[in-house]
Amino acid sequence: MEKKVLYSAVQPSGNLTIGNYTGAIRNWVKLQNEYECYYAIANMHAITVRQEPAELRRRTVELLALYIACGVDPAHCTLYVQSQVPQHAELTWVLNTMTYVGEMERMTQFKDKSAKHAENINMGLMDYPVLMAADILLYQTDIVPVGVDQRQHLEIARDIAVRFNNRYGETFRVPEAYTLKEGAKIASLQEPTKKMSKSDENPNASVYLSDDRDTILRKFRRAVTDSDNRIVAAEDKPGVTNLLNIYSAFSGCTVAEAEKQFEGKGYGDFKLAVGETVADVLAPVQAEQKRLLADKAYLNQVLREGAERAYKAARKMLSKVYRKIGFYQGE
Ligand code: ATP
Ligand code: LTN
């Protein structure tokens, strides 16, 4: 039986955080044998906010090395850079004509990013979800593993697919979101009601996958908690709840087990244990990423092969779309 298709991507827009790891890449590894996987580096999405060209280029390769260091296997998955497959931009144009401005204006991420980059509310920022829909729909994707923050974009991708199918006949497969419970939403260490984000200006708010052990321990030591000293998950204790979630995601135990384990302990010991657990998981990943980055020839080859595979599938799909909508492609 043919494997179902899985698609996901991360933007090379900053240093990845432990949220990107638990909410995205780690799940990719768990799913890679069960599905036919496409894992992209979404550099076209990244330029919707301003990027320094040299940095964008460097981060693209670093992200690829990170995927592989986390355990994503290039022999089984298609790893590629979004801009190297032109059909993403081409399909976006078609889908733009069936997406409403009002829908895009209502997107939470668009509103957040518009507030944050008020000097640069560009068309690409608004079009971001349509490009994401094109990514997903080009490969007849069945499931899309994303963190909670991306679920709204996935809903729009589904709506656009259904809309197209209704108008032009069955063309796109309608994708499903896939979110694992633990690690799906890691919050900021400084403002635990906000999500941890790689583009947060406060470096203490996020733990980066590239942070060394001392930095990790220090950031957890400074994490915002509360004054009642009980290590339990509760709605009015967002800081402690977040730390319990992180501990659970990195140690493999449940939040309930973690609560039990830390019963009667102080916040100081608890934060140290969370920091050590995270640092222990990240150390081998960092070492492997460094080793891979020293072998550019290998990384370039992975990207070449990935782009070729993705291109073949995308070209077929776009041609089908062009046929359906009446674009002349020769007789
Ligand atoms: P930015 O802040 O630059 O927009 P980001 O940190 O949100 O970036 P993305 O590249 O947008 O990262 O997201 C990559 C993947 O990581 C997505 O699947 C997203 O759901 C997941 N993710 C991002 N932040 C978190 C988080 N705090 N907790 C869990 N998953 C997350
Ligand atoms: N917008 C996504 C990254 C992304 C993506 C995708 C995720 C771009 N294209 C397609 C899943 C499927 C984000 O995580 N911020």
Q: Are residues 132 and 277 in the same domain?
A: no
Q: Are residues 222 and 174 in the same domain?
A: no
Among 63, 78, 146, 151, residue to substitute to test ligand 2 (most atoms within 8 Å of Cβ): 146
Catalytic residues: 113, 195, 198
Q: 192, 224 in Cβ contact below 8 A?
A: yes
Q: Are residues 172 and 282 in the same domain?
A: no
Among 7, 13, 18, 20, residue to substitute to test ligand 1 (most atoms within 8 Å of Cβ): 20
Q: Are residues 21 and 39 in the same domain?
A: yes
Whether 196 is in the pocket of ligand 2, judged by its Cβ within 6 Å, is no
Q: Are residues 60 and 132 in the same domain?
A: yes
- 331 domain residue, yes or no: no
| Rounded CA separation 135/286 (Å) | 29
Q: 11, 17 in Cβ contact below 8 A?
A: no
- 254 domain residue, yes or no: yes
Ligand nearest to the CA of 49: 1
- 187 domain residue, yes or no: no
Tokens 């403002």 belong to 191
| Closest-lying ligand 2 atom to the alpha carbon of residue 131 | 9
| Closest-lying ligand 2 atom to the alpha carbon of residue 145 | 11
Token pair belonging to 97? 């004509």
Q: Are residues 74 and 175 in the same domain?
A: yes
Q: Are residues 136 and 269 in the same domain?
A: no
Exposed, middle or buried, 40 (CB in 10 Å: 0-12/13-18/19+)?
buried
Among 111, 197, 202, 242, residue to substitute to test ligand 1 (most atoms within 8 Å of Cβ): 197
Q: For residue range 205-232, what is the model confidence (pLDDT) as tens digits?
A: 999 999 999 999 999 999 999 998 899 9
Token pair belonging to 186? 């890691």
Q: Are residues 161 and 275 in the same domain?
A: no
| Rounded CA separation 77/59 (Å) | 20
pLDDT value at residue 115? 95
Distance 42 CA to ligand 2 centre (A): 7
Whether 11 is in the pocket of ligand 2, judged by its Cβ within 6 Å, is yes
- How does pLDDT run along the chain (331 residues), one tens digit per residue? 789 999 999 999 989 999 999 988 999 999 999 999 999 999 999 999 999 999 999 999 999 999 999 999 999 999 999 999 999 999 999 999 999 999 999 999 999 999 999 999 999 999 999 999 999 999 999 999 987 889 999 999 999 999 999 999 999 999 999 987 766 789 999 999 999 998 888 999 999 999 999 999 999 999 999 998 899 999 999 999 999 999 999 999 999 999 999 999 999 999 999 999 999 999 999 999 999 999 999 999 999 999 999 999 999 999 999 999 999 998 7
Distance 331 CA to ligand 1 centre (A): 45
CATH number for the domain that contains residue 42: 3.40.50.620
Distance 270 CA to ligand 2 centre (A): 33
- 190 domain residue, yes or no: no
Tell me how long the chain is: 331
- 204 domain residue, yes or no: no
> Would the CA dihedral through 280, 74, 136, 41 be positive or negative?
positive
Ligand nearest to the CA of 92: 2
Q: Which domain holds residue 262?
A: 213-290
Whether 87 is in the pocket of ligand 2, judged by its Cβ within 6 Å, is no
- 203 domain residue, yes or no: no
Ligand nearest to the CA of 157: 2
- 106 domain residue, yes or no: yes
Whether 44 is in the pocket of ligand 2, judged by its Cβ within 6 Å, is no
Q: Are residues 50 and 175 in the same domain?
A: yes
pLDDT value at residue 180? 76
Q: Are residues 282 and 307 in the same domain?
A: no
pLDDT value at residue 181? 73
| Closest-lying ligand 1 atom to the alpha carbon of residue 187 | 27
| Rounded CA separation 323/326 (Å) | 5
CATH number for the domain that contains residue 221: 1.10.240.10
Q: Are residues 17 and 84 in the same domain?
A: yes
- 29 domain residue, yes or no: yes
Ligand nearest to the CA of 12: 1
Name the pTM for this structure. Answer: 0.93
Total tally of structural domains belonging to the chain: 2
| Rounded CA separation 147/159 (Å) | 19
> Would the CA dihedral through 177, 180, 182, 186 be positive or negative?
negative
Q: Are residues 173 and 320 in the same domain?
A: yes
Whether 45 is in the pocket of ligand 2, judged by its Cβ within 6 Å, is yes
